[in-house]
Homo-oligomer: A and B are copies of this chain.
Amino acid sequence: MIEIKKERPVILVTNDDGITAPGIRSLVNAVKDLGDVVIVAPDKPQSGMGHAITIGVPLRLDKVKDFFDGAEAWQTNGTPVDCVKLAVDKILHRKPDICLSGINHGANHSINVIYSGTMSAAMEASIESIPSIGFSLLDYSIEADFTAAEFYVHKIVESVMKKDLDKHFLLNVNIPEGPLEVINGMKVCRQAYAKYDEDFDERLDPHGRKYFWLTGEFKNFDPGEDTDVWALEHNYVSVVPVQFDLTNYKLKTELENNWDIL
């Protein structure tokens, strides 16, 4: 479906804020000199979709014209994870050299790696043996300034593409808000144990029936100075290497040695 120039790497770009989000344009802008960029993104915002896949409704996939200068773009009604699957099987007909997801409008540090559509798309690529990076900016606004983010995206992607990467290579990169000169550099971190302390806003609809909006306050329960939350609080770009083997090996050994019902 698409003509790939063999001499340039193929960069698959996706996101979870939808194809019209400013963040994905910044991502394309930041890496377009590093390879042939192909965009496959949701046709509407898909934040908080986690690793959802679409199995109950048919998937649509439509070409988007004249929206990204010089890059082929497609939109789908599917989730971010669906985007990666469709891109590989129905558009590229090969694995891209790297998959980039984002730039997300808002943080995806700490436990948010699990809820995030941005990171789930990147993880899907990693599962499919495509090195991958998710990028997020700590600014939810549609007016967010992506200048510093673009600088770090280019720096990281250029460096990573020169490496001899493990096929499951996966990074979760979060960028503090603000201009480039206030950012202190990059730190490789572990995922903090920090999460939303949830609450629900309880309301009545016009028919007197209760409904709820998920809300909550973000809390860091992790005192470590080697975490992504710590790095971001100190104005560093946080880089968390991520894996999809969720086995708890410590508990595995404990159970193997001590569980009387085995």
Query: What is A's interface to B at a CB cutoff of 8 Å?
Result: 45, 47-56, 58-61, 81-82, 85-86, 88-90, 111, 113-115, 120, 123, 127, 155-156, 159, 166, 169-170, 185-191, 193, 195, 198-200, 202-203, 205, 209-214, 239-249, 251-252, 255-256, 259-262
Contacts and interface: CB of A to CB of B under 8 A. Distances in A.
Given A48-B52, A241-B247, A241-B251, 13 more contacts: A53-B214, A58-B211, A58-B213, A59-B211, A59-B212, A61-B210, A81-B115, A86-B200, A89-B198, A90-B202, A90-B212, A111-B244, A113-B246
Contacts of A251: 166, 169, 241, 243
Contact of A111 (B52, B55, B115, B127): B127
Nearest to A120: B50
B155 A212 contact: no
Contact of A249 (B155, B190, B262): B190
Contacts of A47: 55
A84 to B, nearest CB: 10
Contact of A51 (B50, B155, B245): B50
B85 A245 contact: no
The complex is assembled from copies of this chain, and their number is 2
A260 B243 CA distance: 22
B247 A85 contact: no
Given A58-B212, A195-B127, A246 B239 contact: no
Contacts of A90: 200, 202, 212
A200 B200 CA distance: 38
Given A210-B61, A259-B188, A246 B244 contact: yes
Contacts of A260: 159
